[in-house]
Amino acid sequence: MIKNIYCVGRNYLQHAKELNNAVPTSPFLFVKPTHALVEGQGQTIAMPKDQGNVHYEAELVVHVGKNYEPGMKAEAVIDKIAVGIDFTLREVQDELKKKGLPWLLAKGFPNSAVLSRWLPFEGLEGTAGHDFTLEKNGQEVQRGNIKEMIFDIPTIIEFCAQHFGLAEGDIIFTGTPAGVGVAAAGDHFVLKWKEEQVGELFIGE
């Protein structure tokens, strides 16, 4: 059972730049409720209506397999990975930013945290040997690799554990690369790892 959903914001330099955001000097995190979770198995999912554009943000997701203890290496903490999508109400988020308010209304709606099927974790070096990608209507729109992260996975794990606690069943969306864009009704999204499809979904009317 998944417990906490931690999400790292602005963890790829080019993504921060494309949204005109300052590049963080320490990890920047937000959370999603578990009601946001959905596994992309080819089904159609609903998105919020009349709240502006919904943007897709593809991410590598790590699953915590045991309770963190100080000094534990990532390979001892993570037991599996997935490719995910952090769906975001962009105009809502922009307004919340202006007011200095939390992002929950923009990030926490049902179906906003998509996961592929779970995949074996091959260690940090093995994971860095492959890209994750997102295709929209047959065209690749995002490609990322953990080597491109501003804050690497060990740093994120330690930061989460220190400030919030990190235990078995927690998951972390580790940040999105450049290429985010609008998800519209009828769009077909395919999540890939090692160039193979590991999840898909359609956006409802």
Q: Map out the domains of the chain with their CATH numbers.
A: 4-203 (3.90.850.10)
Structure tokens given for 186: 């009828």
CA atoms of 161 and 69, how far apart (whole Å)? 8
Decide if 88 contacts 55 (C-beta within 8 A).
Answer: yes
Q: What is the pLDDT of residue 19?
A: 59
Instruction: Give the pLDDT score at 77.
Output: 97
Q: For the residues 13-34, what does the mean pLDDT come to?
A: 79
What pLDDT was estimated at residue 101? 95
Q: Band of the pLDDT at 22, cuts 50, 70, 90?
A: confident
Distances (CA, A) of 64 to 76, 81, 150, 153: 9, 9, 21, 12
Mean pLDDT of 53-82: 97
Phi, psi of 30 (to 5 degrees): -140, 175
pLDDT above 80: residue 154: yes
- Mean pLDDT value across residues 173-193: 97
The whole-chain average pLDDT of the chain stands at 95
> Is pLDDT at 16 greater than 60 in this prediction?
no
What pLDDT does 17 receive?
62
Contact 195, 29 (CB under 8 A): no
Read off the pLDDT of each residue in 148-169 and give the average, rounded to a whole number: 96
**Digit-coded pLDDT (tens) for 94-125:** 999 999 999 999 999 999 999 999 999 999 99
Task: Give the pLDDT band of residue 18 (cuts 50, 70, 90).
Answer: low
Nearest to 191 by CA among 106, 81, 32, 33: 81
Pairing of strands 113-115, 37-39: parallel
The percentage of the chain sitting over the pLDDT mark of 70, rounded to a whole number, equals 97
User: What is the per-residue pLDDT for 115?
Assistant: 98
**pTM listed for this prediction:** 0.95
Query: Looking at residue 20, what is its pLDDT?
Result: 66
